[in-house]
Amino acid sequence: MQHVVITGANRGIGLELARLFSARGDRVTGVCRSSSAELDQVASTVLAGVDVTIEADVARLAESLAGQEIHLLINNAGLLQDEKLGSIDFDSIRRQMEVNAYAPLRVAQALLGHIPAGGKIANITSRMGSIADNDSGGRYGYRASKAALNAFGKSLAMDLKPRGIAVVQLHPGYVQTRMVGFGGHITPQESASGLAARIDSLTLETTGTFWHSNGDELPW
């Protein structure tokens, strides 16, 4: 039984990942600002009241997990907002950078002492963070924040490989969640299943790579 810690676990993809790993028999710790009845049912432990953009909250999260090994950390908490050229809200971009890029790095650093050799970190990013794949423009804050997360994840992979910890960047697909007004192409359950398969296949040989939940490797 492994210990899986998931941020943003109270709904959507995070909740389905919590449900999937719990059903496998793993011990799941769900981290969120506010819990949900569904998360309370599936997680072994719920650590609510944690805003991953706030240093003190992340420090408290690490303290709450004192003495516990984390075999898999899934940085899932995210924020999607829209900006259009000519009316860009730079505060919106700044907030997305805090949630989508800085927070996963902050959490990974704070919990690093809990992750043993053989452990894994999975960052839920987006193909919208791929510079090579951008053929439609727009979404300035979301694209930039996910590109930053990809860069952070790649550096984490290089820095942690000597310690036996593998890191992967994962695009969940266009998923039917509240973030996109439930207009996606696949269900959260389908996305979680694909994400788990990519995590299962992650090794030190493939650390630092970027994958779609459907198994396609994505360009940076």
pLDDT, tens digit (0-9, with 9 covering 90-100), for 153-173? 999 999 999 999 999 999 998
What are the residue ranges spanned by the domains of the chain? Answer: 3-212
Q: What is the DSSP letter of 217?
A: B
pLDDT, tens digit (0-9, with 9 covering 90-100), for 15-62? 999 999 999 999 999 999 999 999 999 999 999 999 999 999 999 999
E strand intervals along 43-202: 45-47, 72-75, 120-124, 166-171
pLDDT, tens digit (0-9, with 9 covering 90-100), for 112-147? 999 999 999 999 999 999 999 999 999 999 999 999
Cα Rg of the chain (Å, integer): 16
Catalytic residue list contains 142? yes
In DSSP terms, 175 is beta-bridged to: 186
Q: What's the fold here for domain 3-212?
A: Rossmann fold (3.40.50)
- What does pTM read for this prediction? 0.95
If pLDDT is split at 50, 70 and 90, which confidence band does 186 have?
A: confident
User: Measured between alpha carbons, how far is 134 from 48 in angstroms, rounded to an integer?
Assistant: 36
E strand intervals along 142-208: 166-171
Q: Among residues 102, 140, 142, 174, which one is catalytic? A: 142
Nearest to 17 by CA among 83, 73, 90: 73
Q: What is the DSSP letter of 27?
A: E
pLDDT of 181 higher than 80: no
